[in-house]
DNA sequence: TCAAAAGTGTTAATAGTACACCCATGA
DNA sequence: TCATGGGTGTACTATTAACACTTTTGA
């Protein structure tokens, strides 16, 4: 077995012109956000190795030799949730020497936003994953706590001037749902009238004409977001 | 020589519990900003290897085996400019498979802000580095152009609500200098009266009582920034 | 009939923007 | 004396924040 590894490593090194330069394991860790029951949730999984075996951690994985960082993050998402084309944005790369007890590992954190209705619930059970409310997060070991805090800060920033919230909702949604997404991410309550007034000024939010009765007795209008119109207006305004 | 490399790599791998997992070269690239002559400048160096030998690139270096990512960036700064404790912030990590023609290299971009008066001009000559105006940047190869654009975007964001601009100036500065720093980074002209009005509302900007005549016939007041007061007020407001 | 969520405008306060002239001094 | 950068205040506009009641309908 070690002979094999040696050979592989020898070939890898011979390919590069940087022979002699130290090499590192590279991983990605994903902070996966979703919205359900009027709250923001994060997907965590049970750690399978010591130390802290059985405790909850972020979903991660090593980057493959023929895989970009972004591809690795998308692969982790696909493996664990069955979803492709999930919204992902890089948060930060963590490179402290002793950050991983198993060896020298550099890890890039990504946050993901997904429509929870579309994920594969059997797959996450198979991987020992569970959704945890953002308000009831457990203590996360290593630098995973820092990763989550940074991811949330970045998301709070982004939601202020980009329509990332759309990634957490179905293509048709009520304004109350949308407001709950904003409140859950920002951690504050918003004024309903001011919230709706601002949306009305954005032409890429459009009533579909359909109604939803699943959340209230009086039906709520369903809205959709026109990405194409958003892009055109955005670039026009520059 | 190859035997040596093979042995090193074997020992490295045997240490970790992730044997068999691919490893990567990890580098840092620094976008180093400074202010002089009413403009923002970036430090570039001449590339010493093919392809594009002799053309200008960002300052970079490989991360050492016993060095964190942040430490590697600080080391690159120290090597090239002779400066310690330079302001550094991580921008983003670039991990495309073919981003470096010499091998599979993951690179984390950092931006740095330094007081140009304090750097070692002989050292940068020795390394083949030169300061280039932000308005006259050459084409940068590989993903270095993207790195610079991202760094500048991040800096433009930060300057809007943090006092990062102070890192580009001496401890005592005139309001005109400060305004030029903002204008250089944001790429727009600002109204002098509005700019000064806002500063007057911030108690951590204080007149030192001293005057500077080197830039004008009529002396300009020198100001200083009180970091301690800034931190206290900032946390108090949360 | 009542509980629960949907929907709707106005006013006040704050923040941001536009704008022009006199001052001090060294060359 | 004049060219150069230093220094100052006000009016207008846009944005944001505060605030309460009526509607619909299923249980």
Residue with tokens 């400060």: B178
pLDDT digits (tens, 9 = 90+) for A107-162: 999 999 999 999 999 999 999 999 999 999 999 999 999 999 999 999 999 999 99
* Mean pLDDT of chain A, nearest integer: 93
Chain A contacts in chain B segment 101-160 (CB below 8 A): 102-106, 108
Q: How confident is the model at residue A3 (pLDDT cuts 50, 70, 90)?
A: very low
Q: CA of B82: how far to CAs of A196, B87, B168, B206, in Å?
A: 55, 14, 16, 30
Among B65, B70, B1, B58, which Cα is nearest to B31's? B58
Whole-number Å distance between alpha carbons of A59 and A124: 11
Q: Which residues touch strand D (CB under 7 A)?
A: A 191-194, 198, 213, 217-219; B 174-176, 191-194, 196-197, 215-221
Mean pLDDT, chain B, rounded, equals: 93
| Minimal C-alpha gap between B190 and chain A (Å) | 19
Q: Looking at strand C, which nucleotides approach a protein CB closer than 7 A?
A: 3-10, 16-20, 23-26
Examine the pLDDT at A5 and tell me if it is beyond 50. Answer: no
Q: Within 13 Å of residue A150, how many CA atoms lie on the same side as its CB?
A: 18
Asked if residue A75 has pLDDT above 80, the reply is yes
CB of B47 within 8 Å of a chain A CB? The answer is no
Pairing of β B105-113 and β B23-36: parallel
Which percentage of chain A shows pLDDT scores above 90?
87
CB atoms within 10 A of CB B93: 24
Cα separations in angstroms, A205 against A178, A201, A215: 11, 9, 20
How many CB pairs below 8 Å do chains A and B form together? 132
Supply the pLDDT for residue B234: 84
Angstrom distance (rounded) from CA B151 to CA A87: 22
Nearest in space to B81 (alpha carbons), one of B14, B130, B16 = B130
**Residue B232 predicted with pLDDT over 70:** yes
How many CA atoms, within 13 angstroms, populate the side-chain half-sphere of residue B15?
Answer: 15
Other CB atoms within a 10 A radius of the CB of residue B165 amount to 21
- Here the tokens at position B59 are 């300052």
What was the pLDDT predicted at A15? 57
A238 Cβ contact list (under 8 Å, min separation 6): none
For chain A, percent of residues with pLDDT exceeding 70: 92
Q: CA–C1' distance B96–D9 (Å)?
A: 55
Q: How confident is the model at residue B10 (pLDDT cuts 50, 70, 90)?
A: very low
User: Residue A19 pLDDT > 80, yes or no?
Assistant: yes
Give the separation between CA B162 and CA B184, rounded to whole angstroms.
16
- Count helices and strands (H / E) in chain A: 7, 10
- Please state, for a pLDDT cut of 70, what percent of chain B lies above it: 92
B190-220 pLDDT, tens digit each:
999 999 999 999 999 999 999 999 999 999 9
Cβ-contact A208, A224 below 8 angstroms: yes
Give chain A positions within 8 Å (CB) of B65. Answer: 22, 104
Q: How far, in Å, CA of A105 to CA of A35, rounded?
A: 31
Domains (range + CATH), chain A? 25-158 (3.90.79.10), 164-233 (1.10.10.10)
Query: For residues A222 and A174, is the Cβ–Cβ distance under 8 A?
Result: yes
Confidence of residue A234 (pLDDT cuts 50, 70, 90): confident
Burial B195-219 (b: 16+ CB within 10 A, else e): eeeeeeeeebbeeeeeebeeeeeee
Residues in chain B: 238
Q: Is the pLDDT of residue A186 over 60?
A: yes
How far apart are the C-alpha atoms of A174 and A207, rounded to whole Å? 9
pLDDT digits (tens, 9 = 90+) for B93-107: 999 999 999 899 999
The reply to whether the CB atom of residue A198 sits less than 7 A from any atom in nucleic acid chain C is: no
pLDDT band per the 50, 70, 90 thresholds, residue A50: confident
* B9 pLDDT higher than 90: no
- How far apart CA B25 and CA B5 sit, in angstroms, is 14
The tokens of A160 are what?
Answer: 């202020």
Long-range Cβ contacts of A219-225 (<8 Å, 24+ apart): A220/A174, A220/A175, A220/A176, A221/A174, A221/A175, A222/A172, A222/A173, A222/A174, A223/A172, A223/A173, A223/A174, A223/A175, A223/A178, A223/A199, A224/A171, A224/A172, A224/A173, A225/A163, A225/A166, A225/A171
pLDDT in tens, B51-78: 899 999 999 999 999 999 999 999 999 9
Residue A171, pLDDT above cutoff 70: yes
Confidence of residue A194 (pLDDT cuts 50, 70, 90): very high
For C23, which residue's CA is nearest its C1'?
A: B218
Q: What is the pTM of this model?
A: 0.93
Tens digits of residue pLDDT in B144-154: 999 999 999 99
Which of B25, B49, B108 has the CB atom closest to A21's CB atom? B25
Mean pLDDT on A6-35: 78
pLDDT band at residue B2 using 50, 70 and 90 as cut-offs: very low
Neighboring chain A residues of B9 at a CB cutoff of 8 Å:
6, 9-10, 13, 23
Residue A129 has φ and ψ, to the nearest 5°, of: -105, 150
Per the DSSP assignment, residues forming a β-bridge with A42 are A33, A132
């Amino acid at each position: 077995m070690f002979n094999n590894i040696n050979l592989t490593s020898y070939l890898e090194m011979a390919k590069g012109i940087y022979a002699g330069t130290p090499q590192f394991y590279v991983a990605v860790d994903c902070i996966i956000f979703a919205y359900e029951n009027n709250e923001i949730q994060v997907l965590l999984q049970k750690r399978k190795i010591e130390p802290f075996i059985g405790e909850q951690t972020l979903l991660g994985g090593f980057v493959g030799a023929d895989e970009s960082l972004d591809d690795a993050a998308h692969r982790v998402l696909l493996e664990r949730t069955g979803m492709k084309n999930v919204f992902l944005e890089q948060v930060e790369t963590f490179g402290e020497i002793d950050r991983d007890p198993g060896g020298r590992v550099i890890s890039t954190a990504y946050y993901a936003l997904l429509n929870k209705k579309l994920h594969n619930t059997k797959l996450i059970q198979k991987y020992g994953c569970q959704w945890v409310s953002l308000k009831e997060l457990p203590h996360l070991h290593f630098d995973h706590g820092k990763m989550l805090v940074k991811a949330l800060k970045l998301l709070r920033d982004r939601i202020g001037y980009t329509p990332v919230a759309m990634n957490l909702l179905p293509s048709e949604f009520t304004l109350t749902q949308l407001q709950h997404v904003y409140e859950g991410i920002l951690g504050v309550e918003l004024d309903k009238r001011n919230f709706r007034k601002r949306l009305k000024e954005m032409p890429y939010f459009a009533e579909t004409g359909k109604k939803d009765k699943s959340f209230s007795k009086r039906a709520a209008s369903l809205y959709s977001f026109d990405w194409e119109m958003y892009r055109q207006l955005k670039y026009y305004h520059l």
